[in-house]
Structure 1
């Protein structure tokens, strides 16, 4: 009786999953395997917020498989070694897995292939599982990747997507394959109180509700901090409980400017994947070095992390991150610009803090977005500086976002909520809120001088 292994990584779903579909098509029985990777734990990337969301996703995947007669097989250890051992244990000739782009996932794939081939087994790596378009498929003439988004997006938009795959009706799993019990979110300590629920059914319900209620307004309201009109699907895309291919198809079917703007954001995600696939070292090295001599002031860094910089919009965003393990994209751009260009602190300091808290934090989008803002990545205007006061007037004009996340400023009325240092001294004394950490013009000038303008 033929058996195959579907090795789940960042594709924790049964719907539109080429890995699971291929494993089912080539064998009578399938082992749906997920390995709690000790390598990720050792590297410090197994942080509470993502682990809690992951436990939701694994329990959701197990439920979906059981509805189809199967179950999730969970084990802990080195992914390549455990997958090879599992294949040998159940007599599987093939292991199927989604392609990855980080240096870590590329090395893991090479090692897994070597171990399987030494044992007379085969590894099949599937594209367009984690992204809508496979990294490396779209390239400019005589180059291995697109370095600028706009030409990439034109090419990406002209390419046809693979069709959405049908959902399997049944999954037959060998009865004698052992599995560890799937932990729950309650087993994880140190989770931010507002971390959203994970899992395939949760992700699909969130997308359906957002598509009906807010997608049509997305082009106009994507940067409205208080309105919170974004999809909040990034954690589900990170863990693969939703298919990027299916989301593009469904958005295009919905149509309208909001759908087009949403699809553009999915293309940005693909863009970063194709950059890192070609340049894995960009996860920790400058993609475009600018000769920076970064400052490192621990007092300033701590104030930024804790949301105590004295600039309310920056601080509100950092408090949201601490509470939810998530942050609005506009706020991510602002807080990253403040750290790297106003405080002139190394982008890697901020990227590490985000990775410690973000549920959607990954090496691809987190690191390359930080580089984009820092001006060492793919931004065509590397020296742009986002002014938090200008951003506040544009994207939180009534101060609702600030008051939501900074209770110490909740009673401040009018535009003073974004400039509390302008209040009379007696009112300022009643606020448990610090003065500005730095002068904005001085910080920007210092940065521009360091970059040589």
Structure 2
């Protein structure tokens, strides 16, 4: 009996999984393997919220495999060494893996290929597992990647999607391949209190509910802060508990303006991945520098701490930052507002904000996170790099009656209507009765500082 190893990485599902289906061809035995890569942990990506969600995903994946006669094998250490060790134990002749365009994953894949070849084991890398269109597939004639989303989306939309693959009905795992105990979120500390539950089972249930009742209104309501009309599927996409290809197929089948707007957001995810694959340095350096002399932790420590804790004095900013602390997730409009406020109004280095988001976001994806931060900082792909989102104007537009602010900033719950967005305008006893800080900076002063820094005053 021939044996294959399927190395799961950020594709923790059984439905629409090309590497797994390819490994099962020819009635082969399969070792479903996940390696807790110590290099990833050492790089600072082992944030508690994502570790908890990962634990949920692994347990759910193992349960699904056991229902089909299999089990998940878990190892920890150097990924290349562990994959080779498992392949030897199972006497496997091939390993299947999902493609990943990140610079680290590319280097790791090359190491793995050489190590396996030395042992006579073939490595098969499968595309369109974690993306709809893989990085590098689409490029303009004058460059190795698209730097502007709109033309990228035009090409992306015309790509023919592969068919969605069903989950396997049964599989056999060879005996004698040992596994570590699966992790459990119960043993973790520092979690956001309302962190969502991970796993393919949860992800598919959310997707079905979203397609039934959420997507029709998505185009009109996705920026509604209080209505929370976004899909909340991003953590499941990040861990691969949902297939982006299946997601686009099913959204397009639902049809309508809401589905079209939602698919566009999925395309943004692919867009950022192709940018970072072509320019890996953009994870830490400006994609398009404006030669900013950003304020740092040393020069803006109090402002940064106020922003992190949700006490800047601007209610909608503070509400979004407190949602992040409590849920490990933030509404997309809140992400834009808080990033604009830190980088443009406080003129603080975007990397400080990006790091804080990665510390807490359960969907903390390097490509999306870093490049969205650069987009708001004006150092990324935005064609209007000097745009500034006014938090008061934005709050009145996207939280007109203040319901979002009152939910997350309860000390302002007694203020009626739009007054909740500008508590500093209260006078006398009314202001004294509200235990809420004054703004850390006047918006006019913040805008003037930014314009001076960018040479636009």
TM-score range, shorter chain: over 0.9
Residue in structure 2 matched with residue 344 of structure 1 by the alignment:
347
**Deviation, structure 1 residue 142:** 3.2
Structure 2 gaps of 5+ residues are none
Q: For residues 13-44 of structure 1, what are the alpha-carbon distances to aligned partners after superposition, in whole Å with 9 as ceiling and x for unaligned? A: 00001111111126610100001111121111
**Deviation, structure 1 residue 112:** 1.1
Residue in structure 2 matched with residue 201 of structure 1 by the alignment:
201
TM-score, normalised relative to structure 2: 0.98
- Alpha-carbon distance in structure 2 between the residues aligned to 1:442 and 1:413: 28
- Alpha-carbon distance in structure 1 between the residues aligned to 2:10 and 2:181: 20
Q: For residues 320-377 of structure 1, what are the alpha-carbon distances to aligned partners after superposition, in whole Å with 9 as ceiling and x for unaligned? A: 0000000000100000000001111111000000000000001111111111111111
Kindly indicate whether the alpha-carbon contact (under 8 Å) linking 1:102 and 1:363 is maintained by their aligned counterparts in 2. Answer: no
The answer to whether residue 269 in structure 2 is matched with residue 266 in structure 1 is: no
**Deviation, structure 1 residue 393:** 1.0
Show the 5 A alignment for 1:24-173: 24-25=24-25, 28-173=28-173
Which secondary structure does the structure 2 equivalent of 1:354 belong to? helix
- Alpha-carbon distance in structure 1 between the residues aligned to 2:428 and 2:402: 21
The answer to whether residue 225 in structure 2 is matched with residue 246 in structure 1 is: no
Kindly indicate whether the alpha-carbon contact (under 8 Å) linking 1:101 and 1:280 is maintained by their aligned counterparts in 2. Answer: no
Which deviates the most, 442-451 or 307-316? Answer: 442-451
Which secondary structure does the structure 1 equivalent of 2:25 belong to? helix
Q: 1:429 aligns with which of 432, 439, 442?
A: 432
Q: 2:408 aligns with which of 390, 405, 408?
A: 405
Residue in structure 1 matched with residue 368 of structure 2 by the alignment:
365
Runs of 4+ in 1 over 2 A off after TM superposition: none
Residue in structure 2 matched with residue 302 of structure 1 by the alignment:
305
- Alpha-carbon distance in structure 1 between the residues aligned to 2:157 and 2:323: 34
Q: For residues 380-422 of structure 1, what are the alpha-carbon distances to aligned partners after superposition, in whole Å with 9 as ceiling and x for unaligned? A: 1111000000101110000000000011111111222100011
Kindly indicate whether the alpha-carbon contact (under 8 Å) linking 2:136 and 2:145 is maintained by their aligned counterparts in 1. Answer: yes
- Alpha-carbon distance in structure 2 between the residues aligned to 1:122 and 1:355: 35
**Deviation, structure 1 residue 430:** 2.1
Which secondary structure does the structure 1 equivalent of 2:45 belong to? coil
**Deviation, structure 1 residue 166:** 2.1
Residue in structure 2 matched with residue 256 of structure 1 by the alignment:
256
Q: For residues 36-77 of structure 1, what are the alpha-carbon distances to aligned partners after superposition, in whole Å with 9 as ceiling and x for unaligned? A: 111121111101100001011000000111111110001111
- Alpha-carbon distance in structure 2 between the residues aligned to 1:123 and 1:285: 33
Residue in structure 1 matched with residue 320 of structure 2 by the alignment:
317
Show the 5 A alignment for 1:373-384: 373-384=376-387
Aligned length: 453
**Deviation, structure 1 residue 427:** 2.0
Which deviates the most, 238-247 or 177-186? Answer: 177-186
Kindly indicate whether the alpha-carbon contact (under 8 Å) linking 1:375 and 1:381 is maintained by their aligned counterparts in 2. Answer: yes
Residue in structure 1 matched with residue 218 of structure 2 by the alignment:
218
Residue in structure 2 matched with residue 392 of structure 1 by the alignment:
395
Kindly indicate whether the alpha-carbon contact (under 8 Å) linking 2:128 and 2:245 is maintained by their aligned counterparts in 1. Answer: yes
**Deviation, structure 1 residue 451:** 1.2
Kindly indicate whether the alpha-carbon contact (under 8 Å) linking 2:89 and 2:176 is maintained by their aligned counterparts in 1. Answer: no
- Alpha-carbon distance in structure 1 between the residues aligned to 2:379 and 2:99: 27
**Deviation, structure 1 residue 121:** 1.5
The answer to whether residue 5 in structure 2 is matched with residue 5 in structure 1 is: yes
Kindly indicate whether the alpha-carbon contact (under 8 Å) linking 2:342 and 2:348 is maintained by their aligned counterparts in 1. Answer: yes
Residue in structure 2 matched with residue 227 of structure 1 by the alignment:
227
Which secondary structure does the structure 2 equivalent of 1:348 belong to? helix
Kindly indicate whether the alpha-carbon contact (under 8 Å) linking 1:4 and 1:26 is maintained by their aligned counterparts in 2. Answer: no
TM-score, normalised relative to structure 1: 0.99
- Alpha-carbon distance in structure 2 between the residues aligned to 1:47 and 1:167: 30
Kindly indicate whether the alpha-carbon contact (under 8 Å) linking 1:3 and 1:27 is maintained by their aligned counterparts in 2. Answer: no
Kindly indicate whether the alpha-carbon contact (under 8 Å) linking 2:400 and 2:417 is maintained by their aligned counterparts in 1. Answer: no
- Alpha-carbon distance in structure 1 between the residues aligned to 2:428 and 2:176: 73
- Alpha-carbon distance in structure 2 between the residues aligned to 1:193 and 1:72: 28
Which deviates the most, 297-306 or 92-101? Answer: 92-101
Which secondary structure does the structure 2 equivalent of 1:335 belong to? helix
Which secondary structure does the structure 2 equivalent of 1:125 belong to? strand
